[in-house]
Amino acid sequence: MKSALEGRSHAVPFFGHPRTPAASRPPLQLALALGLAVLALAACGRKGAPVPPEWRVPAAVGDLAAVVRESAVELTWTNPGRRVDGTRLRDLVLARVWRVDDEGRGDPKAAMLADGAIAGYTELATVRPGAPEAAVTPEGRVTLIDHRGLAHGRRYTYVVVTADALGRVSRPSARVSIAFISAPDQPQGLAASPGEREARLAWRAPPRLLDGSPAPAALAYEVLRAAAADGPLASVARTAAGVLALTDRELENDRTYYYAVRAIRAESGTTAYGPPSARVAVTPRDMTPPSAPTNLVAIASEGAVRLSWGASPETDVSGYIVYRAEAGGAFVRVGSTRAPATTFVDREVARGPWRYVVTAEDSGAIRNESARSNEATVAVP
């Protein structure tokens, strides 16, 4: 009796060859044919799995921040250096800044990207690398100043998107919202006095805000320093609220520094920086005198007195000053030596008893003089 399959012909497709009945092909050849067919379908000229297009867009800006700077809003962010898939982003060509304002009630408007725009927002600026509308540091940190139609009491919300050379646009950054408040006016009466490797600063609070209203008492202050009278100011310290003095330490003696101070108002979740005060100059100096010389000895001869003493140990001693006094009189300077010399001959000295002391002085721009050495007494014959 014939089986149910007997008399039927079955074939396996084998690409590039005529069909051959399975019954006439060995089992190993049949397995190889099936494997080659699967590989041919999988290859299709591709080296790996395709990357979804959304993975190739620039990563979103992650550090957008905003503060009130005098009468404007200052925005800062870092341009992305990678794409969503983690690969390097070398062809960033622009960043677009979008803004919306409201009365400050409830949550700010959501930032939805549609056809390269943020729905319901107004484009504020397009920032390209090297363009003059914004400052860009070599590290990619961007600063943009918004002066456009700002009104006190309004809330302004900003987002940033970036794009590469192929026009692929990033997701919107996280929103940053800021209530536009009036910044404080300049602090008054800034004064500086020098110390040893330090500058002591003091000032008075500004009486008003830039809009003319009274300034609150709880203002903080930012101390700024420059290396030249017309050089750029850099922040060196910030005080607690209500503090009107600060000492800037670890400075270089005999070098002039230039300072300004600005007031900072923090209110309604907004930080507002006022304009800097007028600059003042101060030159820290060495204010520590050397140790006094020791073991002063005086030897008299006819019309002269020879002095010798032990040196002061400090490395900045520039010389020694010699003083002479009559038996009951005041000391008068009669000469000096340059370090490291520790001897001196006082000539044309009249007969009689005399007293001597020696002091050391350092090499500072304003020299510090030590205390006196021990007193030596002689009688000139």
pLDDT value at position 327?
87
Query: Are residue 86 and residue 151 in the same domain, yes or no?
Result: yes
Which residues is 263 bridged to in the sheet?
221
The CB density around residue 242, as the number of other CB atoms within 10 Å, is 12
What is the count of structural domains for the chain?
4
In a domain, 331, yes or no: yes
**What percent of the residues of the chain are helix, what percent strand, and what percent coil, each to the nearest 5?**
5, 45, 50
Pick 29 or 319 by higher pLDDT: 319
Check pLDDT > 50 for residue 209: yes
85 and 159 inside one domain = yes
Report the percentage of the chain scoring pLDDT > 90: 78
pLDDT at 51: 53
Residue 151 pLDDT more than 70?
Answer: yes
Q: Which residues pair with 322 in a beta bridge?
A: 335, 358
Mark whether 265 and 350 lie in a shared domain.
no
Do residues 144 and 132 make contact, with C-beta atoms less than 8 angstroms apart? no
**Is residue 239 a contact partner of residue 198, using CB atoms and an 8 Å limit?**
no
Residue 128: the pLDDT is 87
Q: Which CATH number goes with the domain that contains 349?
A: 2.60.40.10
d(CA 330, CA 156): 76
DSSP string, 25-78: S-HHHHHHHHHHHHHHHHHTT-SSPPPPGGGGSBPPP---EEEEETTEEEEEEE
Task: Assess if residue 49 is contained within a domain.
Answer: no
Task: Specify if 323 maps to a domain.
Answer: yes
| 142 part of a folded domain | yes
Residue 241 and residue 324 in one domain: no
Q: 19: domain range? A: 12-44
Band (pLDDT 50/70/90 cuts) for residue 11 is very low
Q: Give the residue from 179, 214, 231 where a domain finishes.
A: 179
Dihedral sign for Cα 358, 363, 366, 368, please: negative
Residues 134-155 have a mean pLDDT of: 86
| Side chain identity, residue 87 | T
Average pLDDT in the chain = 87
Q: Which of 151, 190, 365 lies closest to 276, judged by CA?
A: 190
| 333-380 pLDDT per residue, tens | 999 999 999 999 999 999 999 999 999 999 988 899 999 999 999 999
What span, in angstroms and rounded, lies between the C-alpha atoms of 363 and 352? 36
Distance between CA atoms of residues 321 and 344, nearest Å: 10
Within-domain flag for 4: no
pLDDT digits (tens, 9 = 90+) for 16-75: 333 444 444 455 454 444 444 444 444 444 454 555 666 789 999 999 999 999 999 999
Is 1 inside a domain boundary? no
What secondary structure, in 3-state letters, does 264-324 show? EEEECCEEEECCCCCCEEECCCCCCCCCCCEEEEEEEECCEEEEEEECCCCCCEEEEEEEE
Decide if 225 is inside a domain: yes
- Report yes or no on 5 lying in a domain: no
Quick one: how far is CA 235 from the chain centroid? Answer: 8
Contact (Cβ atoms closer than 8 angstroms) between residue 325 and residue 354? yes
Do 312 and 267 fall within a single domain?
no
d(CA 59, CA 218): 40
Distance of CA 29 to the CA centre of its chain: 72
User: What is the rounded distance in angstroms from the CA atom of residue 50 to the CA atom of residue 173?
Assistant: 27
Q: Are residues 263 and 301 in the same domain?
A: no
Digit-coded pLDDT (tens) for 218-261: 899 999 999 999 999 999 999 999 999 999 999 999 999 999 99
Boundary-marking domain end, from 179, 207, 235: 179
Q: Indicate the range of 77-91, 127-141, 159-173 predicted with least confidence.
A: 127-141
Give 67's strand partners: 74
> pLDDT at residue 290 above 80?
yes
- Distance separating alpha carbons of residues 155 and 176, to the nearest angstrom: 10
Is 30 found in the same domain as 64?
no
